[in-house]
Amino acid sequence: MESVVTQTWTMRDFRLESGVALPELTLAYESYGRLAPDGRNAILVTHGFTSSQHAAGRHAPADEAAGWWDGLIGPGKAIDTDRYFVVASNMLGSSYGSTAPASIDPKTGRRYGPDFPEITLADIVGAQKAMLDSFGVTHLVAVAGPSFGGYQAFQWAVTYPDAMHGIAAVVTAPRAGGGPGAVETLRSRLAADPNWNGGWYYDRGGLVDTMTALRVETLQHYGTNEALARTIGDPVARDAELRRQAAAWARVFDPNALLTLRKASARFDVTRDLGKIHARVLYVLSRTDKLFPPSLAPGVMGELERAGVSASYVEIDTELGHVASGPEWAKWGPALAAFLKGLDR
């Protein structure tokens, strides 16, 4: 795939579920392939909690890391960009170019910070729907994404049940775990940083050390150490690389955004609305995932069946835990390709 460029889309007066209107909403995104004249060959790719819209290809310079689903998206790949117009959208509230707590509030001229309004998964997908509509997308082939991206796929399927043929929900579930307790735990960790200042830390140097420590814990829990072991044999060097990745992320990701998205996920639960789903579902889990273990599969598949949803299940046989869907693309990519081709029929 050729070099890709992050683009942005902006609209005015986006109303949230809460009734609050954002005076300006910007979403960052990448796109691959071309939209068909009838606007019906699009696939929306949604990203994980702390990830970005960089799903495929490489940015300049050429040695920058490929996107997190690069093995799946591109010419001739499972999500075939010779066939599909693929949009990888950043989330409302995230830290990679979309409207979020670190953005400037047009009403005040300063960052939203901790005053950023609370958002929901329905708000996140509503923003994506508005963007795709403006592009001329009339119907989606599918919505596909891992982890928090899978939350978005499920939310799309219940909020806009006739907008897509299918969803691929990967290393995820139709309800979040943790609840309010997870939010308070995160808030306490952030507030313990001497620079916190009630969330107004922007002029105090940020919370880089705290965010780095949180990221190290997250990467270790996700399976990143096991993934790095495939190319870095020395445990000391491997740990250094993991910490380098964590520190690089901590310099970019806004702590208030982390808290905003955590609050949105804590409220996510579409299990009562599964009967609204008209799309076919591909549900994919990783054998060693600690966040969404395969033990969830019988319950989720049973709920989908009772709701009358056509669903199939794939388990990735891997040691890479929660991060498996990207590096282990070859193990489940054929199932994704077959699922998408089936939707075309």
- The dihedral through the CA atoms of 281, 287, 292, 296 has a sign that is positive
C-alpha 240 chain-centroid distance: 26
98, 103, 289, 325: the catalytic one is 289
Burial pattern 157-179, b for ≥16 Cβ within 10 A else e, equals bbbbeebbbbbbbbbbbbbbeee
DSSP structure string for 260-318: HHHHHHHT-B-GGGGGG--SEEEEEEETT-SSS-GGGHHHHHHHHHHTT--EEEEEE--
- 289 annotated active-site: yes
Peptide bond into 61 cis (omega under 30): yes
The active-site residue, picked from 89, 98, 103, 147, is 147
Residue-wise burial string across 265-291, b where 16 or more C-beta atoms lie within 10 A, e elsewhere: bbebebeebbeebbbbbbbbbbebbeb
CA 310 – CA 31 distance, rounded (Å): 29
Retrieve residue 285's tokens.
């889990």
Whether residue 322 lies in the annotated active site: yes
Candidates 80, 98, 322, 325; catalytic one: 322
The catalytic residue positions are 147, 289, 322
